[in-house]
Amino acid sequence: MAKKSSQFALYILMFNMFIAMAGIGLVIPVMPQYLETFGVAGQALGFIIASFALGQFVFSPLAGDLSDTYGRKKLIIVGLVVFSASQLWFGLATHEWMLYAARFISGIGGAFLIPATMAFVADITTLEDRGKGMGFLGASMSLGFMIGPAIGGFLAKVSLTFPFYMAAIAAILSAVISFIILPDVKHAIAENASVKKKRENILVQMKNSMKTPYFMMLIIIFVFSFGIANFQTTFSLYVDHKYNYTPQDIAIVLTVGGFAGVIVQTLIVNKLFKRFGELNVILFSLVGAALSLLAFFLVDGFALVLLIATLFSTATTLIRPAVNTVVSKLAGDEQGFAAGMNNAYMSLGNMIGPALAGIFFDININFPFVIGSIILLCSWSITIVWIKKKKPVIA
């Protein structure tokens, strides 16, 4: 694909991920109050988020394989349409079980969208520019997640369900735009015989992933996702219970943190990768994220909470593109499979983490932050051991 065409495709992919993450972010500020209308709280929120991750976990390997076979574009469009339908259902829910079902379906949409998008970026970038492409993709996700809560807090003034309807409309519009103008790289993929193989179930694919050179990165993304899920799941509930923050207050904190992430991923991340290497960036960021979680116990007042949340957001936004870049560089020709397994392991962590975080939150609101910090430090230890043992060469 020509350079100009590749850049154009990257912009469309960034727009899609921006819309998807904005759709997710829209609903965060209203979740505490929305769940109160169903008479549920922390544990329910944890399981609702876990339902999303379960959908991603089950379908991500299949989606990654399908994108290798049928092309990235088709999977991306399907993912956006499914995501739109799930957001609409969530807003129309009248019983608690419908919330879980809607989020599970939303996870399926994410499973089709995210691995195909990551693989698409790998297809249209060189090894040298891979980190930059992943960084831009991550920046668009952070930007969506940043703007989403701000818009959600504003839309919630209309009604608690209005943000869900707007997220559904945005996703379907993105699907239409992708259908019309996103290039299709199916033919380039199909020519590569090494990616043509029989589709296998998720357990077999996870077993096969153990033989890949990037398996330890998959373990790290699982443990890392498990750790930060504790924060992402309970932060809005934590500040709502401890400080009586409004949806608008929560939106401000998440927006500022997301903005910092966008700046880092757009202007800094590629320079950090080239100067220090992706693995060193991962190690430093894991420690920074763990210490930020512990710092929540030492601060009081909106300004300090905002500062610590921003530091945490900055650290975690460095980890994702770094891990994605390492996996992509080590994956060779199986970009779809690698991206699918990457998303599956991340989803597995996102599934277990929120479920436990909600339970721990109902026991003590501080427990999710302590456990999250411990998990992140475990990720750091695992990474150190793997680097010393395997001495991976990342081109």
To which H or E segment does residue 332 belong? none
- Indicate whether 303 pLDDT > 50: yes
Place of tokens 């065409």: 5
Buried b (16+ CB within 10 A) or exposed e, 113-133: bbbbbbbbbbbbbeeebbbbb
Q: Cα(116)–Cα(74) distance, rounded to whole angstroms?
A: 9
Q: Which has the higher per-residue pLDDT, 289 or 47?
A: 289
In the structure encoding, which two tokens stand for residue 183, read together? 């290039």
In the structure encoding, which two tokens stand for residue 24, read together? 């997710």
Q: Cα(142)–Cα(255) distance, rounded to whole angstroms?
A: 9
pLDDT computed for residue 61 by the predictor = 73
Residue 147 lies in a domain: yes
Q: Cα(260)–Cα(70) distance, rounded to whole angstroms?
A: 37
pLDDT computed for residue 340 by the predictor = 79
Q: Contact, 169 vs 22, CB < 8 A? A: no
pLDDT averaged over every residue in the chain: 81
Residue 124 lies in a domain: yes
Q: Cα(170)–Cα(313) distance, rounded to whole angstroms?
A: 25
Q: Cα(230)–Cα(161) distance, rounded to whole angstroms?
A: 25
Last residue of a domain, one of 152, 187, 222: 187
% residues pLDDT > 70 (the chain): 89
Under the banding of pLDDT at 50, 70 and 90, the label for residue 85 is: very high
Return the sign of the alpha-carbon dihedral for residues 350, 234, 170, 35. positive
pLDDT computed for residue 287 by the predictor = 93
Q: Cα(113)–Cα(336) distance, rounded to whole angstroms?
A: 12
pLDDT computed for residue 4 by the predictor = 67
Which of 115-129, 254-268, 295-309, 340-354 shows the highest mean pLDDT? 295-309
% residues pLDDT > 90 (the chain): 10
Last residue of a domain, one of 154, 187, 220: 187
pLDDT computed for residue 192 by the predictor = 47
Same domain, 210 and 166: no
- Indicate whether 367 pLDDT > 90: no
Same domain, 117 and 179: yes
Q: Which has the higher per-residue pLDDT, 356 or 175?
A: 175
* Model confidence pTM above 0.85: no
To which H or E segment does residue 348 belong? helix 335-363
Residue 192 lies in a domain: no
Residue 234 lies in a domain: yes
Averaged pLDDT, 167-171: 89
pLDDT computed for residue 108 by the predictor = 92
Same domain, 77 and 166: yes
Residue 194 lies in a domain: no
Same domain, 14 and 147: yes
pLDDT computed for residue 395 by the predictor = 58
Same domain, 298 and 253: yes
Averaged pLDDT, 217-242: 77
pLDDT computed for residue 187 by the predictor = 45
Same domain, 210 and 147: no
Residue 40 lies in a domain: yes
- Name residue 367's amino acid: F
Same domain, 173 and 241: no
Same domain, 174 and 216: no
- Indicate whether 124 pLDDT > 90: no
Same domain, 97 and 223: no
Residue 369 lies in a domain: yes
pLDDT computed for residue 200 by the predictor = 63
Cα distances from 228 to residues 34, 87, 293, 354, in angstroms, run: 23, 23, 9, 9
Same domain, 205 and 183: no
Beta strands in the chain (DSSP E): none
Q: Contact, 178 vs 83, CB < 8 A? A: no
pLDDT computed for residue 288 by the predictor = 92
Residue 246 lies in a domain: yes
Under the banding of pLDDT at 50, 70 and 90, the label for residue 114 is: confident
Q: Which residues are CB-neighbours of 345 under 8 A, at least 6 positions away?
A: 209, 218, 219, 221, 222, 225
pLDDT computed for residue 193 by the predictor = 40
pLDDT tens digits along 12-66: 898 888 888 787 777 767 777 787 888 776 667 767 777 887 888 888 777 877 8
With CA atoms as reference, report the closest residue to 266 among 94, 131, 136.
136
Q: Cα(353)–Cα(330) distance, rounded to whole angstroms?
A: 27
Last residue of a domain, one of 187, 213, 245: 187
Neighbours of 301 (CB within 10 A): 9
Averaged pLDDT, 141-155: 76
Averaged pLDDT, 253-264: 78
Q: Which has the higher per-residue pLDDT, 373 or 350?
A: 373
Averaged pLDDT, 203-225: 83
Q: Contact, 89 vs 98, CB < 8 A? A: yes
In the chain, % helix, strand, coil (3-state, to 5) comes to: 85, 0, 15
Q: Which residues are CB-neighbours of 384 under 8 A, at least 6 positions away?
A: 283
pLDDT computed for residue 270 by the predictor = 79
pLDDT computed for residue 343 by the predictor = 77
Which of 24-28, 268-272, 335-339 shows the highest mean pLDDT? 268-272
Q: Contact, 37 vs 85, CB < 8 A? A: no
User: Among 12-26, 93-107, 251-265, which is the least confidently predicted range?
Assistant: 251-265
With CA atoms as reference, report the closest residue to 228 among 186, 257, 262, 199.
257
Same domain, 135 and 239: no
**Domain carrying residue 55:** 1-187
Q: Cα(264)–Cα(252) distance, rounded to whole angstroms?
A: 19
Residue 290's domain is classified under what CATH number? 1.20.1250.20
pLDDT computed for residue 88 by the predictor = 93
With CA atoms as reference, report the closest residue to 151 among 22, 9, 333.
22
Same domain, 215 and 355: yes
Number of structural domains in the chain: 2
- Indicate whether 79 pLDDT > 80: yes
Angle at 14 between CA 103 and CA 350, to 5 degrees: 35
Cα distances from 159 to residues 99, 125, 154, 162, 229, in angstroms, run: 17, 43, 10, 5, 27
pLDDT tens digits along 350-365: 777 777 777 788 888 8
To which H or E segment does residue 191 belong? none
Under the banding of pLDDT at 50, 70 and 90, the label for residue 220 is: confident
